[in-house]
Chains A and B, each alone.
Chain A
Amino acid sequence: MREYAFFLGCIAPNRYPGAESASYKTAEKLGIKLLDLEGASCCPAPGAFGSIDLDIWYAMAARNLVLAEQMKKDIALICNGCYKSIWEVNHKLKHHPELKERVNEVLKGIDMEFKGTIDVWHLAELFYDPEIVGVQKIRDSVTVSLEGTRIAVHYGCHLMKPKKERHFGTTEHPTWLEEMVAALGAEPVEYRNKMLCCGAGGGVRGYDIVHSLDITNEKMINLMEAKVDALTEVCPFCQLQFDRGQIEIEEKFGVKYGLPVLHYCELLGLAQGMSPQELALDLHGISCEPFLQKVL
C-alpha cells in the first residue's frame, strides 16, 4: 500500500465532504492510503493570494509543504486549485534557490524550513499512472458498472496548464480522463470547446459573478448539445462553479439545465459500490437523481 499525505484544501472538506470521503475509500481499494495532513490550511487560493502578492502565496503554500516534508510523505490532492498552489510552489522553490531562501527567511519565524524533499501529485494522475494504479486496475475495481450513461469530462485549468511547466502533454485535446471514465463502463462524450475554463478562477467568481457565470453558461450550452447524463471533473472549485453555478445561472439568466456534476472520486465511488448516501450526493446543488436512476 502506497502512502500519501492527503492535502484536503477547502471546498472538498467544507462543501462536498462526499468527495473527500470517496477519495479515501476509492484510493484504498486501488492500493493507495491517504493519511491526514494535520494542520494543513487553504492552499492558499492561487487567484486571490497570487494576485495580491506572489511572495505571500509562496510562503503560505510552503508552510503546507513543510507539514508533509515533516511526515516524509509525498502529497496527494484532489483539487486543481490546490495543485496550482502546492505543486507549483514546490516546483518553483526547488528550482529557484533565491526564492527558497526568501521563503525560508519567513518560515524561520515559525520554526519551519522548506527543504524540497517531497513531490506533489493529483490523485487522478496517480490513478491513471500504470505504475501506481492504472486504468486496468480501476476497471477491475468496478462492481456497479455505469453502462448506459453518457458522461462528459471537464479537465479544468490548473492541473495541466501551463503545459510547459507541467508533465501532462497536450492541453488542447487530452483524453486520459475519458479513459478513466470508460473504465467505469460509462460512455465518455466529447463536446464543443471541452478545454474552456469553468469561469471561476483568478478571483473572477468573487469579482464579477455574472461574467464568471457567463463562461460557465457557455460550457453548459455545449454540454447540453452533446446530450450528456452527467459531468465529471477533478476539481471541487470547478464542481462548485458547475453545480451551485447552475442554480445561480437560473437566478440570473433564467435558464435551467439540471445537469448532475460529480467529482471523479464520487463517480468512481458509485462504480465501486458506494451508495449515494455514503457520497453525500444530497449536498449537491443539482440533484443527481436522474443520473442515479440510470445506474442504480
Chain B
Amino acid sequence: MARTKGYPEALEKKLADTRLYEDESHPEFTKTVEKISMTIPHMCFQCGTCTASCPSAPRSSYRIRKFVRRALLGLEDEALTDPDLWLCTTCYSCTDRCPRDIAPTDVIMAMRNLAFKRDIIPVNFLKTVQAIYTTGHGVPNNDVNRAARKKLGMNADPPTTHAFPQYVKGIQYILDYYELKKNADRIVKEREG
C-alpha cells in the first residue's frame, strides 16, 4: 500500500485543505483512486517529470501530470470523461522517474477502472474481452498460422485453451462472475448496433 508517512491521516489533512477545493471536487474520488491504484497521487508536487518522460505527450494533448493533479483535486468528471485518459501506453517511464515515489501509470489504470464503471471505455478493449470469452485468447489462432505451425512440425493449435477448449469454461465462469461479458456485449451493441 501507499508508502508515505502518516497515511491515511496525511491524506485526510490534505483533503481538508480548502485551498485545494474546486466546486467540482469529490474528495471520495481521490481516496478511491488511491485505493485501487495502491499509490499516492496526493504527494505530487507537480514537477512534470512524468509528462517529460511520457511517449504520448509530444504527440497529443495527453498530460499525465494533469491527471495526477485531477486525482488530488478530486476532479472526477473532468478526469474520467477526458479522451486522453486512453492514450497512456503504460510504459511506466513516469513511474520509474517520479521523485515523489508515485506511480502515475497506476493512477491512470485506476481512473480507467472507474471510467469503465460509467461505461466509458473504448470498444477495442471490450472486443479483446469478447475474444477471450470465446477462445481463451485475445489474439486467437487463424488458418494461415495453423498451416505454418504444421510446417514447423508443431500441432496446428498450441497446447493452450486452443488445443484444450474444455478449459474455456473456467474463463467464462470468471468473466461471468464479474458480469464482464454481459456488459461488454451491451456496450459494444450500444455503440455499434
Contact = CB atoms under 8 A, between A and B. Distances in A.
B49 interface: no
B177 A203 contact: no
Nearest to A41: B136
A47 B141 contact: no
Contact of A214 (B59, B148, B164, B177): B59
Given A21-B152, A162-B103, A204-B89, A41 B55 contact: no
B93 A197 contact: yes
A51 B109 contact: yes
B32 interface: no
B82 to A, nearest CB: 13
Interface string A248-268: 000000000000000000000
A206 B123 CA distance: 9
Contacts of B116: 51-53
Interface residue tally on B, bucketed by range? 35 or more
Contact of B173 (A44, A51, A110, A206): A110
B174 A56 contact: yes
Given A51-B125, A215-B55, A41 B137 contact: yes
Interface of A: 8, 10-11, 13-15, 17-18, 20-21, 36-42, 44-56, 59-60, 63, 106-107, 109-110, 112, 157-158, 161-164, 171-172, 195-197, 199-204, 206-208, 211-212, 214-215, 218, 277-278, 280, 283
B154 to A, nearest CB: 6
A268 to B, nearest CB: 16
A36 B164 CA distance: 11
Given A11-B139, A48-B138, 13 more contacts: A13-B141, A14-B145, A38-B167, A39-B161, A40-B160, A41-B136, A42-B132, A109-B177, A161-B95, A199-B89, A202-B91, A203-B122, A204-B56
A106 B139 contact: no
Contacts of B124: 48, 203, 206-207
B43 to A, nearest CB: 15
Interface of B: 36, 55-56, 59-60, 86-93, 95-96, 103, 105, 109-110, 112-113, 116, 121-122, 124-129, 132, 136-142, 144-145, 148-149, 151-154, 158-164, 166-171, 173-175, 177-178, 180
A162 B174 contact: no
22 contacts: A14-B140, A14-B142, A15-B145, A17-B149, A20-B154, A21-B154, A39-B166, A41-B161, A49-B129, A56-B175, A56-B180, A60-B171, A109-B177, A112-B170, A161-B91, A161-B92, A162-B96, A197-B91, A204-B89, A207-B124, A212-B89, A215-B55
B170 A42 contact: no
A45 B164 CA distance: 20
B56 A211 contact: yes
B158 A200 contact: no
Contacts of A8: 158-160
A59 B173 CA distance: 11
Contacts of B95: 161-162
